[in-house]
Amino acid sequence: MGAPATTTCPLPIEELEWCFWDKLSKPYNKANVSRFATYKGSTDKGELMKPIEEEEVTKAIKGVDEKSAPGPDGMTLSDIQDIHDEDDTLIPRLFSLWLKSAMIPDSLKKSRTVLIPKCEDQERLKDIDNWRPITTGPMLLCLFTKIMAKRLSETVWINPRQKGFLAATPGCNENIAILENIIKGAKKNRKDHTVVFVDLAKAFNSVGHKLIVKALQRMKLPPDFITMVTDLYTGNTTVVEGNKTKTVEIKIERGSSKGPTFAKPI
Count Cβ atoms within 10 A of the Cβ of residue 9 and give its class: 0-12 exposed, 13-18 middle, 19 or more buried: buried
Packing angle of the helix pair 77-86, 90-101 (nearest 10 deg): 100
Name the nearest CA neighbour of 202 among 4, 24, 16, 18. Answer: 24
**For the chain, which residues make up each domain, given as ranges?**
13-156+208-261
Is there a contact between 98 and 144 (Cβ–Cβ < 8 Å)? yes
pLDDT digits (tens, 9 = 90+) for 138-192: 999 999 999 998 898 888 877 777 777 666 677 788 888 988 999 999 999 999 8
CA distance 218 to 134: 31
Mean confidence (pLDDT) of the chain: 86
Where on the phi/psi map is residue 210: left (φ > 0), alpha (ψ -120 to 50), or beta?
alpha
State the first-to-last Cα distance of the chain, in angstroms, to the nearest integer. 39
pLDDT (0 to 100) of residue 167? 67
Strands 131-136 and 250-251, bridge-based pairing: unpaired
CA distance 219 to 142: 24
pLDDT digits (tens, 9 = 90+) for 44-64: 778 899 999 999 999 999 999
**How many residues make up the chain in this entry?**
266
pTM of the model: 0.82
pLDDT digits (tens, 9 = 90+) for 67-110: 898 999 999 999 999 999 999 999 999 999 999 999 999 999 99
Mean pLDDT across the stretch 194-222?
Answer: 81
